[in-house]
Amino acid sequence: MSPSGPLTADFAPGRPVPLGAIVGVFQHGSGDPAFRTDAHAVWRAARTPDGPVTLRLHREPAGTGDRVVGRAWGPGAQWQLQRLPELLGGADDPAGFEIHHETLQQVAAAERHWRIARSGLVMDSLVPAIIEQRVTGKQAFGAYRQLVRRYGETASGPADRIAALRLVVPPSVEAWRRIPSWEWLRAGVDASRSDTAQRALSVAARLEECCNLPREKAWQRLRSVPGIGVWTAAETMQRAAGDADAVSFGDYHVAKDIGHALVGVPVDDRQLEALLRPYAGHRYRVQHLVTAGRLGAPRRGSRLAIPTHLPG
């Protein structure tokens, strides 16, 4: 932490900035130790190439739009604030996105100021995405919360607020790699997922470069790690690179929900690909609109059973 206090920057794009909707994609469950909110601000802890950072985001009206003030503490403060516009969707360009289904019109109008965040941090989103593979949100968020609290570190910043929020910086690559296999299991992460995480962590420096590669090469590099499929790559590229075309194919709900919203019936991934063809280049925007507008299929049936991976 800088002895002179936090560094500060602001973002005023001349339009409303729906702060929670834009940066909320970085929250992995309501109990995420690295993402907290209070009555006045959003707080996020992350690891940048320069080290840990604590970021406080506060929105206030400013003329014809909003002004978001970012305050940052820690070695990564300057790195983070230089990229504040990108984190808040400033690099996202929705030009060319046209609505082809009437059911999206109303929510598209309501969400017209939403933009896709770009963190520039691959492992920050890749590790939780791997933990979230093939399990319920409750399982995944609980596992991530447990591992971050145990192996992360207390965030820098104003001590009273950090303590009240219990804000924690996620583990470094080295710390993630040192977690024993039985601790992954104890948290509820099976060997398949923890092995995938370890393979990704072993080439973390190469994967971090994906944000600066052409899209096709970035996806190829991510997918070259055994265990990282299209869903995991999409969830990562949406957040790390602000990929407007990254659809979460393979998700338990996404195809069903988008199909229900656009044509009134659930579809599978193959049908979803055809259905989204007119939105090429902007397909993730459709996924967001369906979620934001709660246009998906109604949830029916019993919840998935939560298995245990520990011996009795």
Whole-Å CA distances, 173 to 40, 53, 207, 287: 32, 15, 12, 30
Residue 261, in any domain of the structure: yes
CB atoms inside a 10 Å sphere around CB 275: 19
Residue 109, in any domain of the structure: no
* Sheet-wide strand order for 51-62: 7-11, 65-73, 51-62, 42-48, 35-37
What is the largest distance, in Å, between two alpha-carbon atoms of the chain? 61
Q: How confident is the model at residue 301 (pLDDT cuts 50, 70, 90)?
A: low
- The pair phi, psi for residue 57, each rounded to 5°, is -115, 125
Structural domain of 276: 254-292
Residue 157, in any domain of the structure: no
Residue 283, in any domain of the structure: yes
As for how many domains the chain has, the answer is: 1
Residue 276, in any domain of the structure: yes
Instruction: Note the pLDDT tens digit of each residue in 167-178.
Output: 999 999 999 999
Angle between helix axes 215-223 and 230-240 (nearest 10 degrees) is 130
pTM: 0.94
- The pair phi, psi for residue 270, each rounded to 5°, is -65, -45
User: How far apart are the C-alpha atoms of 247 and 233, rounded to whole Å?
Assistant: 9
- Average pLDDT on 292-311 reads 64
pLDDT confidence of residue 63? 81
- Average pLDDT on 38-52 reads 97
2 pLDDT more than 60? no
Residue 31, in any domain of the structure: no
Whole-Å CA distances, 139 to 133, 143, 232, 280: 10, 6, 16, 33
Q: Which residues of 61-71 are buried (b: 16+ CB within 10 A; e: fewer)?
A: ebeeebbbbbb
Instruction: Note the pLDDT tens digit of each residue in 198-227.
Output: 999 999 999 999 999 999 999 999 999 999
User: How far apart are the C-alpha atoms of 229 and 235, rounded to whole Å?
Assistant: 10
Instruction: Note the pLDDT tens digit of each residue in 84-130.
Output: 999 999 999 999 999 999 999 999 999 999 999 999 999 999 999 99
Residue 308, in any domain of the structure: no
* Residue pointed to by tokens 């104003």: 158
- Average pLDDT on 192-200 reads 98
pLDDT confidence of residue 310? 42
Q: How confident is the model at residue 299 (pLDDT cuts 50, 70, 90)?
A: confident
Whole-Å CA distances, 107 to 26, 111, 255, 287, 292: 22, 6, 18, 12, 8
Residue 279, in any domain of the structure: yes
